[in-house]
Structure 1
Amino acid sequence: MDETTLIGDSSPVAGKGASAAVAKVRTPFRSPLARRKGAGSSDAVGRVSKRVPPPDGSSIESAVLYKEVGKLVAELDRQTAAYSRKTKELQDAIKVMESPEVEAETRALIDKWRAIAQGAVSYLLNSVLGKIDRLGGYEEFRRKELEREKRQLEYRLDNGFEDEMESVLESEEFNGLPEDLKEEYRETLDGKKSEFEQYKTKQFAQLDAQLDQVSKSSQQMDMREMCKRLNVDYSLVFDAPAEQ
């Protein structure tokens, strides 16, 4: 862990750890064989098969319609569950508001939690500011941080994409295809490779833009940024208006 690491960050290393990291990578590349292989399955359809009768006949139109209906029913189930949870939360909130004693107790607990959270964030901020000063200031800290992010991004994307390409070209499904289909898939992979390079260039450009913004401003680490790095809602900790 280097000086620019704040919370739970690590650079890619060769070996077993790197392989595990690469295995979890999701890239914009999607194997055409994977799509072809999974064309006739749907988790959503499986979940609603007891309520949506299978289509009559074996036409492609019926199968497509059946799949779409399954997706719609699954989405409705998800929305219904979400609305039920929200309704329960609102009902609980109404009960609190209708009881002065419970509301006063809740307010006291909120104030206590907020005081503890503010103290913890202040302590962490002071610790981080000392670390930033030793690095040469906030601008130098952000520069090293963004450079490390670029290296990690390049490592994850390149290795993830190469693994996807290799898994397709060496798979039994691919080797069992006729030569004309193999050539078609190779052309598709070449197109995906071009899209991947464009995606990687775009991600690097965004990191470079962040670095330019830091160089042109006098921004310093503050409570709001500290909360953002901790994935904590600043408006809850400091009772401030929520950002739009």
Structure 2
Amino acid sequence: MDSNTPSYSSPNYTPIARKKSVFRPPVRNPQQVLSTPNTLVKTSVDKVDKGSIEDRRLAYELKLLNNEFTRQINSYKIENNQLNQSIKVLKNYEKEEKVMRLIEKWRSISQAGMSYMLNSTMLKITKIGGYEELKRKEMEAEKRKIEYQVDDNLQDEMDNVLESDEFQMLPEEDQEEYKNRMQDKIEEMEIWKEKALTKLEEQVKLCANQEMTMQELAQRLKINYQFVFPE
């Protein structure tokens, strides 16, 4: 044994007192929480719940924003349709205005032309003896026309029938019956002729001290008076 090594049996050896080791559990900080499987699950669930709420809130806001955009788009469509309709109305109005200007121009020319024709006609009427004389001459021409239609045409028609072979082949009774019917027709036409001539005479009397009007001129020319001279 080495001389420097102390010996337990040596008189100079003094045993060293050892402290008893006491087990002390580690002191846990109250603010520190150890993670356990339960706390980990709870934290994960909280994170999932918070994420789901945030997603739903975001989806709701997006839905509101989409609805607002849709409303604005529909509003713009309505305004666009209204503008298109306004443009069409404006174009139609411009066309109608152009047509109305053309109508007014045509009407002015027609009025001037008819005024000239009326003055020219009245001068000619004056040369033949006046308006009443004009109506009397027209009445005489109408009387000759009526007499020709009633007397000559009807008589010619009757003569052609009586001289036809078909009529000659009819029995005597049928021939007499046809002659009687033709005679009745002639008498009816004579009555109509007398009424027509009487009406013409009355029209001539009504024309005394009168002049031709623009309405009568338009009627003679077969022109719609209201088109040229609207009230």
CA separation in 2, counterparts of 1:97 and 1:189? 69
> Cα deviation per residue 1:135-186 (whole Å; 9 max; x = unaligned)?
2222222222222221232223322111211222122321221111111111
1:85: which partner in 2? none
Letter aligned with residue 152 of structure 1:
K
Q: Answer yes or no: is the 8 Å Cα contact 1:129–1:221 preserved in 2.
A: yes
Instruction: Choose from 189, 193, 201 the match for 1:196.
Output: 189
Q: Tell me which moved more, 156-165 or 95-104.
A: 95-104
| 2:146 equivalent to 1:146 | no
1:126: which partner in 2? 119
1:225: which partner in 2? 216
Question: What is the aligned-residue RMSD (CA, Å)?
Answer: 2.2
What is the DSSP-based 3-state SS (H/G/I as helix, E as strand, rest coil) of the residue aligned with 2:134?
helix
C-alpha distance 232-170 of structure 1, shift in aligned 2 (>3 A): same
Deviation of the 1:129 alpha carbon: 0.8
CA separation in 2, counterparts of 1:97 and 1:196? 63
The structure, 1 or 2, with the larger RCO (C-alpha pairs under 8 Å, 6+ apart) is 1
CA separation in 1, counterparts of 2:225 and 2:163? 50
C-alpha distance 96-236 of structure 1, shift in aligned 2 (>3 A): farther
CA separation in 1, counterparts of 2:184 and 2:114? 48
C-alpha distance 96-156 of structure 1, shift in aligned 2 (>3 A): farther
C-alpha distance 146-96 of structure 1, shift in aligned 2 (>3 A): farther
Q: TM-score, normalised by structure 1?
A: 0.54
C-alpha distance 187-238 of structure 1, shift in aligned 2 (>3 A): same
Detail structure 1 runs of 4+ shifted over 3 Å in the superposition. Answer: 95-98
2:105: which partner in 1? 112
Letter aligned with residue 154 of structure 1:
E
Letter aligned with residue 222 of structure 1:
T
| 2:153 equivalent to 1:157 | no
Letter aligned with residue 238 of structure 1:
F
Structure 2 residues without counterparts, runs of 5 or longer: 1-87
Q: Percent identity?
A: 44
The structure number with the bigger radius of gyration is 2
Letter aligned with residue 230 of structure 2:
D
What is the DSSP-based 3-state SS (H/G/I as helix, E as strand, rest coil) of the residue aligned with 2:212?
coil
| 2:219 equivalent to 1:214 | no
Q: Answer yes or no: is the 8 Å Cα contact 2:167–2:175 preserved in 1.
A: yes
> Cα deviation per residue 1:80-116 (whole Å; 9 max; x = unaligned)?
xxxxxxxxxxxxxxx9999212211221221122122
CA separation in 1, counterparts of 2:91 and 2:186? 60
1:42: which partner in 2? none
C-alpha distance 124-177 of structure 1, shift in aligned 2 (>3 A): same
Aligned length: 144
What is the DSSP-based 3-state SS (H/G/I as helix, E as strand, rest coil) of the residue aligned with 1:147?
helix
Deviation of the 1:206 alpha carbon: 0.9
Q: TM-score, normalised by structure 2?
A: 0.57
Q: Tell me which moved more, 110-119 or 202-211.
A: 110-119
